[in-house]
Amino acid sequence: MSIDIDDAVRQTDFDALSSRLSCYLKGYTPQDNLILDLIPLIIYYQLISCQSEFKRFALSRKLKSLFFNIFPSNLLDINKILNFNNNEILSKINKFTPLKSPMINRGTYLRTTSITKNILNFCNKNKNLNKIQIISLGSGNDTRPFYILPKFENLSYFELDFQFTTKLKKLAILSSSKLSNTLNLNSLSLSNLPHTFENILSFNPSLNSSNYHLIPCDLRKLNSILNNDQFKYIDPFVPTLIISECCICYLSKDDSNNLISFWRNHLNNAEFLIYEPIGGDSSNIPNNSNSNYGEVMIKNLICRGIEMPTLITYGTINLQIERFNKLINIKNENNKFFDCKIWCKDMKWVYDNQIDINDIDRISRLEMLDEMEELNLINSHYCMIIASWKLL
Amino acid sequence: MLDLDRILEDVKLCRTIPEQDVQEMCLLGQEILIQESNIQLIESPVIICGDIHGQLHDLITLFKIGKEPPESKYLFLGDFVDRGFYSVETFLLLLVYKLKYPNKIFLIRGNHESRQITSVYGFYDECIRKYNSANVWRYCCELFDYLSLGAYIMNNNSNEDGVFCVHGGLSPNLNSLDEIRLIDRKQEVPHDGSMCDLLWSDPEKEIQGWALSPRGAGYLFGETETSKFLHTNRLSLIARAHQLVMEGYRELFNGGLVTVWSAPNYCYRCGNVAAILSLDSELNREYTTFESSFNEDHLNGCSSSSNNGGDINDGFIGGFGVGVGGEVPSKRPVTDYFL
């Protein structure tokens, strides 16, 4: 992968962040309220880490519009950002604020809610244990740690991503007492934080609190994880949930499978929770236009500089199950015996079967959705995988 | 004086039509539509087309396949605007034809021909982006209020067995075509009631009688209700649109109802084919499917994305590709996914 492609993949994190902001503003995800504190700080640090003033100006316009122009205009003044009045921002949202389409909002809600639900299941079933861990691969600017960590005292949360991403997130967290307090950290005074391009360049991208860790690494280079000082904080013997929310789908087939095997070999009691698109199967549906969905998606993504190398390779539920059976379901290894389980469903199934009917009722009232068929079509091209193993 | 031929050429090339021309066209359109009844009578043969949703290039393809008016006669079942990136041009293209050949093209109202829906699904934003004001949106929405709610296609050989055409479907409040003729249609699409149902309802195989629609407006109706309506009104077919069908058209209830969908690769994302339904003078059905012409042509151009005025390419998308020579500054087709 070239730097350009890495960058395009990194931008998908902003795309997801923008979708989650839209969901929050529409009322789909009220628990995500700290997103309003995180985003302007991320924009600020992203802007000042831009070297050329002209680029910075252009980028600032793009970022503002990516986040629906809802933030007050001067995003280069951190003192102003820290004093933003969220209620005032919210009061300016009206029906003409061009948020994401209802279809994207509902899909984002589904993804966010169903993954969070599985995380909470994992934490709740292990809440009597001394220690449990979450490892989030390519976590980007996920806001879940802010509302999940405070709920579970025995939980350690690890977020792994490119160093530029972890650096900006660390800076945003340390700038805001609201954000840092949820992670058992103290915020730093602004004078102790970098505010120039050069200072940010040399700023340490790692962050560790008693239960929260930002680990800069390249998930394609397993040595960058193994040789990382922070790797020692990960305990291979406690129950661990490894999340990939649209992360490993950007890796090549070999890189993603090596990464899965890497965790399979290092942890004794863990489960993968994976959300990613599936391109569908063109081979055994004769003469059916259904088959074009994956190819159209590949073309559309190439247009944005993004590749999803395994979209077709693991394009169906069965192919994903087969994949994880091969990688995870190794019952007997080095004379150790494991209990392994593989589960995979498409997101239409998840929507129909796992989302609380009262909550569907609640979100149905938020905005009219004129796109059931399209939503069903798209949801049937995303899947949720749970693959667990446990040393017996 | 409007030069409709010039406007037709300009719209096809995606050039901006001056706001005043749009206003004048909408006023002329009102004068024609006000004379049409709630259920417009149409003589066969005719080509029936489903949702277009701002996919101008695919509409142009459709007219190539079906032959341009006045060579063929057309009925469009609504949902001209929203979702696609060229709602303004799409609607204006249909409107120019309507003004030029009022008896060769008929437009009925879809649920997207409404102020409320267009302010959420793209048409309003597109007007603001292209004209820097909401005027064009307002002129078009005022015209939408005059669109017919349905059409009846006559069988030239008999007084029976005609085809009823509507955007969505049936309503529990409406048993006969005559009841539809009594509706006062010149208003914004209401949130409920029979006018709303005609534009929002969907057929459903699994259902007996009526059920609330998951869309939040209209109803789901099953085979019994469909047969009853066909029988009461001596119809051979209900032709409707409103629902994406991957194969372009789908007949239900022993051929008593058909969904026609005319937006190929819907939203530049769904990978579906589109269809049009030709009815000959005896109302025999012939479906023609077609694929999108848009993707290949336009995707090739968009990888060299830094050609737009002063738009520094930091990898962030969402800027506007501004073309040269007075072309519409159109949003580059960036398709949303969950990434």
Chain B CB contacts of A306 under 8 Å are 339
**Is A245 annotated as ligand-binding?**
yes
On whether any CB of chain A is under 8 Å from the CB of B297, the answer is: no
B136 lies in a domain? yes
Q: Is residue B73 part of a domain?
A: yes
CA quadruple B101, B104, B109, B113: dihedral sign: negative
ipTM: 0.81
**Which chain B residue has its CA at the smallest distance from A308's CA?**
B339
CB-nearest to A62 from B112, B318, B338 is B318
pLDDT tens across A167-200, in order?
999 999 999 999 999 999 999 999 999 999 999 9
- The per-residue pLDDT for B251 is 97
Instruction: Tell me the shortest Cα–Cα distance from B245 to chain A, in angstroms.
Output: 8
Say yes or no for a CB contact (<8 Å) between A59 and B312: yes
Q: Which residues in chain A are closer than 8 Å to B121, comparing Cβ atoms?
A: 101, 370
Asked if A368 and B216 come within 8 Å (Cβ–Cβ), the reply is yes
B184 shares contact with chain A (CB less than 8 Å): no
- Separation CA B270–CA B317 (nearest Å): 21
Q: For residue B51, what are the domain limits?
A: 4-294
Q: Which residues of B touch A16 (CB under 8 A)?
A: 338-339
- Domain assignment present for residue B324? The answer is no
What are the mean pLDDT values of chain B's consecutive 10-residue runs (339 residues total)? 93 94 97 97 96 97 96 98 95 98 98 94 93 96 98 87 97 96 96 96 94 89 97 96 96 97 94 96 96 62 34 32 33 70
A219 annotated to a ligand binding site: yes
Per-residue pLDDT, A356:
94
Determine whether the interchain pair A293/B317 forms a contact, defined as Cβ–Cβ distance below 8 Å.
Answer: no
CA-wise closest residue to B74 among B143, B151, B140: B151
Assigned superfamily of A100-391: Vaccinia Virus protein VP39 (3.40.50.150)
Record the tokens describing residue B202, joined without a space: 């969907």
Pairing of strands B274-279, A132-137: unpaired
pLDDT, residue A264, reads 95
For residue A147, the tally of other CB atoms under 10 A from its CB is 15
- Residue B129: count other Cβ atoms within 10 Å of its Cβ: 17
CA A10 to chain B, closest CA, distance in angstroms equals 9
Alpha helices in B122-222 (DSSP H): 123-131, 135-144, 177-181, 194-200
Q: How many CB atoms lie within 10 A of CB A38?
A: 22
* pLDDT given at position A367: 85
| A282: nearest CA partner in chain B | B271
Residue boundaries of the structural domains of chain A: 100-391
CATH number, residue B91: 3.60.21.10
Instruction: Give how far Cα A47 sits from Cα of A163, A336, B39, B316, Å.
Output: 16, 51, 58, 13
Q: How many angstroms separate the CA of residue A342 from the nearest CA in chain B?
A: 24
Residue B302 has a pLDDT of 38
Chain A residues within an 8 Å CB radius of B316: 11, 14, 59, 62-63, 66
Residue B197 placed within a domain = yes
One-letter amino acid at A261 equals S
Dihedral sign from CA coordinates of A42, A44, A45, A51: positive
A304 among the known binding-site residues? no
Domain membership of residue B179 (yes or no) is yes
Question: Which chain B residue has its CA at the smallest distance from A379's CA?
Answer: B338
User: Does residue B51 sit in helix, strand or coil?
Assistant: strand
CA distance A392 to chain B (A): 37
Active site members of B: 112
CB-nearest partner of A98 from B125, B215, B302: B125
Minimum CA–CA partner of A3 in chain B: B315
From B269, B311, B316, residue closest to A66, measured CB to CB? B316
Of A59, A365, A372, the CB nearest to B314: A59
Chain B hits for A14, CB-CB cut-off 8 Å, are: 316
Tell me which chain A residue has its CA closest to the CA of residue B304: A303
Question: Residues of A with CB below 8 A from B336's CB?
Answer: 19, 100-101, 104
Residues of chain A with pLDDT under 50: 1, 284-289
Report the Cα A351 to chain-centroid distance in Å. Answer: 19
Residue B322 lies in a domain: no
Looking at the structure of chain B, the number of domains it has is 1
How many angstroms separate the CA of residue A260 from the nearest CA in chain B?
20
